[in-house]
């Protein structure tokens, strides 16, 4: 399996696990999402978080989980689906940078890797790649 496909598999799993993590966190500690605004780098993010996100948190959490799940599935697919998933993931990571998750740097790195992966072609799904390798 080429390095691009191994990396794509990693990203697909990352987003699927992110959806699972956010599902569990939303069920057990939804108020934790409200604390995100405290670490935002830009004042506009703090204001948007308090004015837009906080009042609509339950709906936005469902959308976040569906978004991450969809991005993961798309990245594991093939062709245009992979490109759309990578682009969505790249934009998502850039959106997270000003929120200062772990200083924002990991999100920049993830966005850069996804930008590189966008330059590749993906003619098979990850599942098809595994099926080819099985005896």
Q: What is the DSSP letter of 51?
A: I
pLDDT of residue 102: 59
Question: Tokens 């990245």 map to which residue?
Answer: 75
- pTM of the prediction? 0.90
pLDDT at 107 over 80: yes
pLDDT per residue over 23-52, tens digit each? 999 999 988 888 888 888 888 888 998 899
Within 10 angstroms of residue 95's Cβ, the number of other Cβ atoms is: 12
- Specify the length of the chain in residues: 135
Sign of CA dihedral 103, 107, 110, 116: negative
């Amino acid at each position: 399996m080429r390095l691009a496909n191994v990396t794509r598999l990693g990203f697909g799993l990352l987003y699927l696990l992110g959806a699972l993590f956010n599902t569990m966190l939303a069920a057990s500690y939804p108020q934790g999402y409200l604390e995100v605004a405290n670490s935002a780098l830009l004042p506009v993010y703090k204001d948007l978080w308090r004015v837009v996100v906080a009042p609509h948190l339950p709906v936005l959490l469902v959308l976040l989980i569906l978004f991450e799940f969809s991005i993961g599935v798309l990245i594991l697919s093939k062709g245009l689906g992979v490109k759309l998933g990578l682009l969505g993931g790249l934009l998502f990571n850039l959106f997270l940078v000003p929120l200062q998750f772990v200083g924002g740097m990991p999100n920049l790195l993830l966005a850069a890797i996804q930008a590189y992966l966008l330059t590749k072609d993906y003619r098979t799904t990850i599942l098809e790649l595994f099926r080819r390798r099985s005896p």
